[in-house]
Amino acid sequence: MAARWWRRALRGLCGAALFLSQLSVLSGRAGSLLTTKLSQPQSTLAKGLTSTSTNVPYFKVLESTEIPPYLTNCPSNGLCSRLPPDCMTCNTNYSCVYGKTATFDCKVKPHVHCVDENNHEQENFTINMTCQFCWQLATSDYVCTNSTNCMTVSCPRQRYNATCTVRDHIHCLGNRVFPKMLYCNWTGGYKWSTALALSITLGGFGADRFYLGQWREGLGKLFSFGGLGIWTLIDVLLIGVGYVGPADGSLYI
C-alpha cells in the first residue's frame, strides 16, 4: 500500500512540474510578443520624427534660395513707375475710357525693390497709361514674328499668322503676347533702284529678270532681244510701278 501511495504522489509531482514548465513557456512567448508590438510603433514614430525633422529644413533652404525668373528683368532700387510690366501686378480700372489716360493701382511682385521720387522704398504705387488693350497698340509698340513663306508680291496681298509681344516699357490691358494677321512684308535683299536701272540699260538682254531671279523670263528676253524692244519697255513700266518683283516673293528694299 505504501508503494502505491508513493507512486501516485510521484506522478502528481511530475504532472505539476510539467504544468508549471508549460505555463512558464507560454508566459515567456506572450511577453516577447507584447514587447515586440509595443516597440514597433515607437520605432516607426521615431523614424517619422527623424525624417520630418531632417526634411523640413531642406525644403526651407530650397524655397529661400529659389530665384523667380522675372527678377532678371527687374532693376533694383529703380523708380517703381518705370518698372517693366512683368515686375508688378496692377488692378484693372474698369471705369477708364478707351483712348484716354487712366490711373491704375499697382504693387511690386515679391523680391522686387523699387523707390519713389524721394528715394523712399515702396510697394504700392500708381501708374498712368492709355486705356486700351495690347492688341490695339500702334505697330511700333510691339514686335511680331516674321514669315518668309508667304508671297509679298501677289494680288490680293497675302497675310500670315504672327505672334506679337509688347515691348517692355509699354503698359496696356490684357495679354502682352497675342496673335495677329499681318501682311507679308519680308525682303530678300533686292533693291528696286537696281532692278529699274538694269531694266532701262540692259533690259534688252534680260539683265533685270536675271537680277530678280526670274531665269526663264531672262532667257526669253535674251534670245528675243527684249522682244524686239517691246518687252523691254513693258518691263520698265512694270518694275517702275512695283508690279514685277523678286522671284522669291519678297519686297524690295
Question: Is 227 among the domain residues?
Answer: yes
* 207 and 161 in a common domain: no
168-194 confidence digits (pLDDT tens): 888 888 889 999 988 887 777 888 889
* 125 and 84 in a common domain: yes
* 202 and 168 in a common domain: no
Question: Is 155 among the domain residues?
Answer: yes
- The three cell numbers of residue 135 are 492688341
Which residue, 89, 90, 102, 164, is CA-closest to 134? 164
> Which residues have C-beta within 8 Å of that of residue 85, sequence separation ≥ 6?
166, 168, 170, 171, 176
* 125 and 76 in a common domain: yes
Q: Which of 131, 150, 169 marks a domain boundary?
A: 131
Quote the CA–CA distance of 94 and 99 in Å, as a whole number: 13
Average pLDDT, the chain: 77
Please say whether the beta carbons of 93 and 131 come within 8 A: yes
Quote the CA–CA distance of 27 and 12 in Å, as a whole number: 23
Q: Is 88 exposed, middle or buried (0-12, 13-18, 19+ CB in 10 A)?
A: buried
Q: Which neighbouring-strand residues pair with 159?
A: 183
Question: Is 67 among the domain residues?
Answer: no
| Overall residue count recorded for the chain in this entry | 253
Please say whether the beta carbons of 232 and 202 come within 8 A: no
Question: Is 3 among the domain residues?
Answer: no
Question: Is 232 among the domain residues?
Answer: yes
Question: Is 16 among the domain residues?
Answer: no
* 178 and 215 in a common domain: no
Is the CA virtual torsion 131, 132, 133, 138 positive or negative? negative
* 166 and 202 in a common domain: no
Q: For position 70, what pLDDT does the model report?
A: 78
pLDDT over 90 at 28, yes or no: no
Q: Is 107 left (phi over 0), alpha (psi -120 to 50) or beta?
A: beta
* 123 and 93 in a common domain: yes
How does residue 49 score in pLDDT terms, banded at 50, 70 and 90?
A: very low
With pLDDT > 70 as the criterion, what percentage of the chain qualifies?
73
* 125 and 81 in a common domain: yes
- In angstroms, the first-to-last Cα distance of the chain is 140
* 105 and 84 in a common domain: yes
- For residue 150, give its domain range: 142-183
pLDDT over 80 at 133, yes or no: yes
Local structure of 186: helix, strand or coil: coil
Q: Which of 106, 131, 156 marks a domain boundary?
A: 131
**Mean pLDDT, rounded, for 154-168:** 84
Question: Is 23 among the domain residues?
Answer: no
* 147 and 108 in a common domain: no
- The three cell numbers of residue 21 are 514548465
pLDDT: is 237 or 20 the higher one?
237
| Total domains in the fold of the chain | 3
Question: Is 247 among the domain residues?
Answer: no
